[in-house]
Structure 1
Amino acid sequence: MPPATRATGPRNVEVTVLLLDIGASMHADLDSAAHALSAYVETRMLSRPNSDLALVYFGTSGTSNELHDEAASAGDPTQYLHISVVHALQQPGLSMLRSLRQVPRGDGESDFVDALTVALDSLYKAVALRDELQGPRVAKRIVLLSQLATQIKPDPGNAFKDTLVRKLAQQGVTLDLVCLHPYLAVPGTRAQLQYILDNSPHTLREVHDAAELAGAFKSREVTATAFYSGPFTISEDFEFKVKVAKKTNQEKLPSLGKESPFDSTDPAASHGLTLAREYRVAEEGDAGEEVAQEERVKVYRYGKQLVPVSSEEERYLKYAVSRGLSLLGFVDAASIPRHHYMKECWVVVADKASPTALAALAALAAAAHKRDQVAIVRYVPRAGGAIHVCAAAPVPAARATPAHLLLNVLPFAEDVRDFRFPGFDRPERKPGLRAAQAALDLVRAGALQEGPRERLVPEHVANPSLHAFLRLVANKALGVEPGADPGPDALRSALEREGLPGSEPGLAKACAELRSAAGLGGPRRALGRSPSQRLRPELAIQDMHAALGEEGAAQSLAALRGMHRHILELMRGSPGDRDVDAAVECAAAMREAASQHFQPDAWNSFLKDARKGFLNEAGKSRFLTDMQEAGLTPLGPARGGSESLRDSLGTEG
């Protein structure tokens, strides 16, 4: 038997053709699409400099590709029209970024099958000219971004698509499709695409808005590597080999190094700076004598005392345990509260080279899942390293994934923080039926689930800070002035309340009702726990006058506070300035009543809350302006005052 040959060629090399639809149906979203691909190019430039990219537009007004030229030379100039190869396969650079910042609007037909054929041909010809790109370790991809909203020509018998699928397989190319607004896709076009996808390795991402499109490509792609590879010990005489890798891990902003701006003429000179630290004896005045490395020792501060700890003693303090993954037992899944899951999550998979390990882990995961239990394991990834006690949740085998375990680190006793809550047995601390119903309505109104689709799924929400960093680096490389090109703000708006589906008036109404039912909000905060008269929204002025007709200062104050609450709730629930006129009318009635019943503080308190709530809120600051124009100024100790509303409250927080 001949010895096995190892795969040759560079590792972590990827060649990709970016295929962007710029036809008429894409014009409304073309800026967002170009920004998404620009972020993809920036990622490759920073994290995968060995990768090569090509850029192809389809749906263009003109035509510029070799397949069309070859067909035209053969006497058929109607083939592969409206497709332009903007950049041939090359290492990504500033020229490609500039192209993606100035994407033209095309008016040609967006035939994705022809575009895929041109992209594959461009990829094949470029790879054939470079020996280093022909090894089996070189990943080949075509990234297609389109709405599929153009009806393409039919393909009777799927003959053309079968040829395309066969060539994709021969070249080992993976399709990565991003479909924007999938509900706009033409059925016939979508059916032809589905045929290709069913017969080719691919990924398909459907995005429904600019925020999802901006997050279609990660700012940094990290391939999972085994952090631990070794035995999973079940008992003294039973173990099998597994691999443990990170499932999730918080990605941080790249650290910024310190470089010298000195422009040396020596090409071998380095701009890097080195950091040196000196230790000296602390003395009054000038620094004392320098302390050598062998004369320094670590100390533990115990009160005012410094207790020296030698390196031998420091090793003794460590919990010496061998490297490995060991089963300790099983517990009910419900017995581990969610807040006990700490740090990142790990995934445990069986070694694919061992059929015994595959069968053992599959059986273990299936049995634990059937009994709704999780395994408690001891995990030491490195010899002499930290020891972790983890909960291993079973995930049975599915069609696309093998059986595996998900490891989450559990806390030790010292890691648990004790927060003492006040007693909740007092009746006033329990929600009433109205408050409970209002909270239920709020949950329903703010639901992120829209049919089968859910908003803010972690796999589809990119980190706006990381993308902003990429944009900053690209802008500096392109010579763009700081702040001149912040880029689309879709990622940030996706994480704002106004950018979510519950931001319509239904949610605002539910919030106002819950605030009222729970006794929260502006009037309650400004006026303490004093009672207020509840007014009917449609008859607020009549209800206030009716309550003011009853004898007693307390009753009149409660009526004014009720109007105070009603006006603020009306404005908070108003979409924009729709209810400003009604609110000003109620405010005028309240000021007149406060003056007549000698309650200036009630009116002035309302003005302060109104200013705090609406002065800087877009669409609602008109409420303050209209009150000013109507002469609804603060009341003095006696009857009134002529000072300006903004001037009199200008020093308020």
Structure 2
Amino acid sequence: MADKEASIFIVDVSRSMGKKHNGREKTDLDWAMTYVWDKITTAMAGGRKTLHFGVVGLRTDGTDNPLSDDEGYANISVFQSPKQCLMPDIRALHEKIKPSNVNQGDPISALVLATYMMGEHTRKLKYIRRIYLITNGCGPMDTDEIAEIAGKINEDNIELLILGVDFDDPEFGFKEENKDKVKAENEAILRSLAENCNGVFATMADVISNINIPATRDVRPVPSFKGDLTLGDVENYESAMSIDVERYPRVRVARPLIASEFVRRSNVGPTEDSAQSSHTLGRDGDDAHLANPSHGLVSAKNNPTYTVEDSQAPSGKREVERSELDKGYEYGSTVCHVSEYEMNLFKFENRKGLEIVGFVDRNKYKRFFHMSETNMIVASRINEKAKLALSSFIHALHELETYAVARLVVKDGNNPVIVLLAPEIEDENECLVDVELPFAEDLRDYKFPPLDRIITISGKKLVEHRYLPSDDLMNAMSDYVDSMDISTFAKDEEGNPCEYAALDDIYSPIVHRVQKTLQFRAVNTTEEIPPPASILTKYSQPPEGLIQQAQPYLQKVLAAANVKKVSPKQKGRKRARSVDKPLSGLDVGALLAQPSNKRTKISAENAIPEFKQLLATTEDITTIKDAAQQLAGIAADYIRHSLGDSGYGRAIEALRVLREEMTELEEPGVWNGILIDLKEKIVKGKLGGDRKEMWWRIRANRLGLVDKRVSEFSGVSEEEAKAFLTARLP
């Protein structure tokens, strides 16, 4: 469980904070609230119930606080007491935090109030306590009891952060010219207060500049396995090794926030009888507060129904309970039924454990065997003997340059996995890093032709060929790759070469962009979403200097590879089309279009090229339809004369080309008619027997009807096309 945290923001909302300074387009208050909103919405997105926020308004028009009986606490209002911040709280704070009409109010008194509120909320419990004071330093300030206040802050172990609008900060490099005398004096007092409390004193420009830098999130690790790491049979042999270990996550994939679905409560009001869907965004388990009657939302739940075909039922289908169904598993296009009895009969009862089954040389292990995220295995924290034993085992693997292979069962009854155990020794930390390995069934062997030679049909090996890179091309490409080396392209603070795009400087754009977008929309409901932060897009493109540096080497590669520009590919395939003139100057299309060269029949041996050639030499719709029917008949013959499924591949390719060409020629009706006729033949067994496997392949390749979404000339709706393709065959 994460540590409890409580933070209170003291926000100066005086009249002076409603003005614009130093060329900014925002008022000082709106600019400073950029940081406050970021802190609050970041915590809200995490969904931690142990992270509480309070907001105190300084120099407000009225007075509303528990210490208001004392005159020194005038013009100070509590906007929100410390609690978990939710979307309704964001909306309420957004309405309250506005520039006031006064400049009266004491920041030191506001600190006293915040300290009092912190004590009332956290009492003596274990909390991380923070107080933020955000002000422009203008206006009067009472410093009589500032030393006692600093002592109280230190006594209560509160971290004080004073963030000033346009405060001078030599480290950041900002200094306000012609500063008001009162503001300069207040700055010095607040700086001294922060130093006495061991707190933070910074200018607002500094903290806002760091908002877009993604912050790392500390996660308290939870063990996924606690047990014994064994080598040998520990039950029968005393020489076997057994070490008490624990397994924790090491590297996990960071994923963006996910959407949760809600519906409006039907009994909220007379106008909300019908359920209307609404969405919110957050992490799993963070939507409990939204399923609240006061918000008018409840979590959307799925209520699936299961039906079976029943000729006696009114609709031809009858609903059944889930308990009446058995599981089925797809094997190709066949559904294999496996009963509960069979599942229990063949289920292997595994016992929890981590057993070493072998060792492998580190230099012979292939990194592409990794199949999972990594975990780390350490000795039990309360077992000193286990710590010594595991340390010895880790050092032995490290010295022998060896990895261990182990069988892992996380808990009783789980399926076993094979993991690789790699030793890691870094500073004073030692552990085993494990990653899942594939079983034999997980491996896929694919044969590819060699890249450095060509083997002819006769078996002769050619090392020089127009399809093989020459030595000049290889050397030019090697130099080009070397010219794009980023390991020393950047410069550090001292001007020395260093790595460009270091791993610690790269962040996941999708994770942080989604999070920042949601945070912005939570506060600003109508404004346009700003572009992504530059730190997220910095490494999406190579630096300009690197491109210029590599340009001469790229020209050498182009020259060595004899790269030539070709005419752009024809985009349109409509009947009224213009064909680009070939580079040779010979108009092949015109030659083929001559009456003596026109093709009218398509042969089954070379069907697809001849079909495309025929379409390229005619604009007559009758000829186009005739060519389509010829290719459809050839595809049907492929199916009819197929031994098993040997001819299905050729038929699928012919149908794919036919569908594409008819769509581009704005004749989707021709394809739709052909496909409907083909399905009818398959259903009735007119293509040489049972050919339903062919229809399954048509579905798998998405060769359905062309609907209006694909072509505006189609008379088939998207729903009709989907129903036609997915309907079960009788």
TM-score of the pair, normalised by structure 2: 0.50
User: Aligned-pair distance for 1:38?
Assistant: 3.2
Please tell me the residue identity of whatever aligns with 1:398: D
SS of equivalent to 1:312? helix
Q: Residues 402-441 of structure 1: matches in 2 within 5 Å?
A: 402-425=429-452, 426=463, 428-429=468-469, 431-441=473-483
- Could you give the per-residue CA deviations for residues 109-167 of structure 1, whole angstroms, max 9, x where no partner exists? xxxxxx9x99996665323213xx3455x430549899xxxxxxxxxxxxx9xx87x96
Residues 1:472 and 2:555 aligned together = no
- Could you give the per-residue CA deviations for residues 593-619 of structure 1, whole angstroms, max 9, x where no partner exists? xxxxxxx97799xxxxxxxxxxxxxxx
User: Within 2, Cα distance between the matches of 1:175 and 1:403?
Assistant: 37
SS of equivalent to 1:519? helix
Tell me the equivalent position of 2:84. Answer: 91
SS of equivalent to 1:390? strand
1:244/1:173 Cα in 2 relative to 1: closer, same or farther (>3 Å)? Answer: farther
Residues 1:129 and 2:128 aligned together = no
Q: 1:13 aligns with which of 4, 7, 26?
A: 4
1:43/1:26 Cα in 2 relative to 1: closer, same or farther (>3 Å)? Answer: farther
Q: 1:352 aligns with which of 355, 370, 381?
A: 381
- Could you give the per-residue CA deviations for residues 85-104 of structure 1, whole angstroms, max 9, x where no partner exists? 98664433566688799999
Tell me the equivalent position of 2:548. Answer: 509
Please tell me the residue identity of whatever aligns with 1:485: E
1:274/1:497 Cα in 2 relative to 1: closer, same or farther (>3 Å)? Answer: closer
Q: 2:528 aligns with which of 485, 489, 494?
A: 485
Residues 1:461 and 2:507 aligned together = yes
Tell me the equivalent position of 1:216. Answer: 214
Q: Percent identity?
A: 17
User: Within 1, Cα distance between the matches of 2:198 and 2:438?
Assistant: 45
1:296/1:474 Cα in 2 relative to 1: closer, same or farther (>3 Å)? Answer: same
Tell me the equivalent position of 1:226. Answer: 223
Select the structure with the greater relative contact order (CA < 8 A; seq sep ≥ 6): 1
User: Within 2, Cα distance between the matches of 1:411 and 1:13?
Assistant: 41
User: Within 2, Cα distance between the matches of 1:242 and 1:419?
Assistant: 39
Once the two structures are overlaid, the 10-residue window that deviates more, 317-326 or 11-20, is 11-20
User: Aligned-pair distance for 1:441?
Assistant: 1.0
Tell me the equivalent position of 1:374. Answer: 403
Q: 2:419 aligns with which of 386, 390, 405?
A: 390
Residues 1:49 and 2:77 aligned together = no
Please tell me the residue identity of whatever aligns with 2:563: R
* Count of aligned positions: 482
User: Aligned-pair distance for 1:184?
Assistant: 4.1
Please tell me the residue identity of whatever aligns with 2:385: T
Please tell me the residue identity of whatever aligns with 1:51: L
User: Aligned-pair distance for 1:465?
Assistant: 4.1
Please tell me the residue identity of whatever aligns with 1:515: L
- Could you give the per-residue CA deviations for residues 305-326 of structure 1, whole angstroms, max 9, x where no partner exists? 5432112322344453211222
Please tell me the residue identity of whatever aligns with 2:433: L
Residues 1:519 and 2:558 aligned together = yes
Residues 1:277 and 2:268 aligned together = no
Tell me the equivalent position of 2:669. Answer: none
CA RMSD of aligned residues (A): 6.2
Larger proportion of helix = 1
Note the residue ranges of structure 2 that are not aligned, 5 or more in a row: 100-106, 135-146, 164-168, 175-186, 235-239, 270-292, 453-462, 568-580, 586-730
SS of equivalent to 2:214? coil
Tell me the equivalent position of 2:241. Answer: 238
Once the two structures are overlaid, the 10-residue window that deviates more, 26-35 or 339-348, is 26-35
Q: Is the CA contact 2:79–2:96 (under 8 Å) kept in the aligned structure 1?
A: no
Tell me the equivalent position of 1:618. Answer: none
User: Within 2, Cα distance between the matches of 1:523 and 1:85?
Assistant: 74
User: Within 1, Cα distance between the matches of 2:78 and 2:445?
Assistant: 62
- Could you give the per-residue CA deviations for residues 559-591 of structure 1, whole angstroms, max 9, x where no partner exists? xxxxxxxxxxxxxxxxxxxxxxxxxxxxxxxxx
Q: Is the CA contact 1:515–1:521 (under 8 Å) kept in the aligned structure 2?
A: no
Please tell me the residue identity of whatever aligns with 2:215: F
SS of equivalent to 2:263? coil
User: Within 2, Cα distance between the matches of 1:462 and 1:144?
Assistant: 30
Please tell me the residue identity of whatever aligns with 2:53: L
User: Within 2, Cα distance between the matches of 1:52 and 1:523?
Assistant: 66
User: Aligned-pair distance for 1:417?
Assistant: 3.6
User: Aligned-pair distance for 1:298?
Assistant: 2.0
Tell me the equivalent position of 1:336. Answer: 365
SS of equivalent to 2:484? helix
Tell me the equivalent position of 2:252. Answer: 249
- Could you give the per-residue CA deviations for residues 503-532 of structure 1, whole angstroms, max 9, x where no partner exists? 12x22224433432333999936339xxxx
SS of equivalent to 2:228? strand
User: Aligned-pair distance for 1:246?
Assistant: 1.9
Note the residue ranges of structure 1 that are not aligned, 5 or more in a row: 1-9, 75-82, 106-114, 147-159, 529-599, 605-653
SS of equivalent to 1:53? strand
Q: Is the CA contact 2:90–2:523 (under 8 Å) kept in the aligned structure 1?
A: no
User: Within 2, Cα distance between the matches of 1:126 and 1:319?
Assistant: 59
